[in-house]
Amino acid sequence: MANGASQEQNQILISRAKQGDMAAFEELIQQHEKIVYNVALRMMNHSEDAKDISQEVFIKAYKNITGFDERSTFSTWIYRITVNTCIDEMRKRKGKQKLFLDNEFENEEGKVKQEIPSQCDTPEETLIRKEEKNEILTALQEISEDYRTVFILRDIRGLSYDEIAEITGLALGTVKSRISRARNHLKKEIYRIWERNSVEPRHNVRKEGEFHEL
């Protein structure tokens, strides 16, 4: 979970922020705002919700910065706040969520549409890739918050098992087993989608690490 500043620079910023230096806190937030937004977007699946969650995360971080335990990295801490805020919101909305597939997200080049970059040679293959993306996003809404969280952190955000354990507070073995179950549940949901839509099953279901461009 590296960012543009060195660990030493971050420690200085954190120390200043703890003493009430707003400029230092804002610099920390600027380093992490895209990560926070993208995690919230993957979990909430809607750009406006992700913006609202991001603002809530930054407010919580500001209110609790003095209690930040520097044995952890700031990145891990802000991830944890983001994940927990999203889970709290999802639980409030249980049964009321709507699915949006036209989201935007931000990267280093600014806002872009939530599209899978195509390395395909034909329009037909490009269409299949887009259908796969929609299936994954739809299936994610059908699995539990616990499974969705670890799947997003591991297979979409690419975090290590150790980082996920620290963020979620779960034992390492629990993280690994939960990720494995999350993948199995996701595959089952995708098969259900194929059945509902009378789609012939595809055999190129993605493996670990192949979801990073979502």
> Is the pLDDT confidence value at 109 over 50?
no
Say yes or no: 88 and 124 in one domain: no
pTM score, whole prediction? 0.66
Distance CA 151, CA 165 (A): 13
Question: According to the model, what pLDDT value does residue 176 have?
Answer: 95
Residue 117: both structure tokens together? 């970059």
Say yes or no: 126 and 210 in one domain: yes
> Is the pLDDT confidence value at 106 over 50?
no
> Is the pLDDT confidence value at 119 over 80?
no
Angle at 4 between CA 213 and CA 159, to 5 degrees: 40
Distance CA 135, CA 5 (A): 37
Out of 73, 92, 111, a domain closes at 92
Q: Which of 29, 108, 110 is nearest to 65 (CA)?
A: 29
Percent of the chain with pLDDT over 90: 39
Lowest mean pLDDT among 30-44, 74-88, 102-116: 102-116
Confidence category of residue 99, pLDDT binned at 50, 70, 90: very low
**CATH code assigned at 45:** 1.10.1740.10
Report the C-alpha dihedral over residues 71, 76, 79, 85, rounded to 10 degrees.
Answer: -20
> Is the pLDDT confidence value at 93 over 60?
yes
Confidence category of residue 98, pLDDT binned at 50, 70, 90: very low
Question: According to the model, what pLDDT value does residue 181 have?
Answer: 95
Question: How far does Cα 167 stand from its chain's mean position?
Answer: 12
Does residue 201 lie within any of the structural domains? Answer: yes
- Full residue range of the structural domain in which residue 153 is found: 120-214
Per-residue CA distances from 84 to 29, 36, 57, 67, 90 (Å)? 18, 12, 9, 17, 10
Confidence category of residue 203, pLDDT binned at 50, 70, 90: low
Confidence category of residue 129, pLDDT binned at 50, 70, 90: low
**CATH code assigned at 187:** 1.10.10.10
Say yes or no: 37 and 125 in one domain: no
What does DSSP say about strands 110-113 and 104-107: parallel, antiparallel, or unpaired?
antiparallel
Distance CA 94, CA 63 (A): 27
Burial 34-65 (b: 16+ CB within 10 A, else e): ebbbbbbbbbbbbbebbeebbebbbeebeeeb
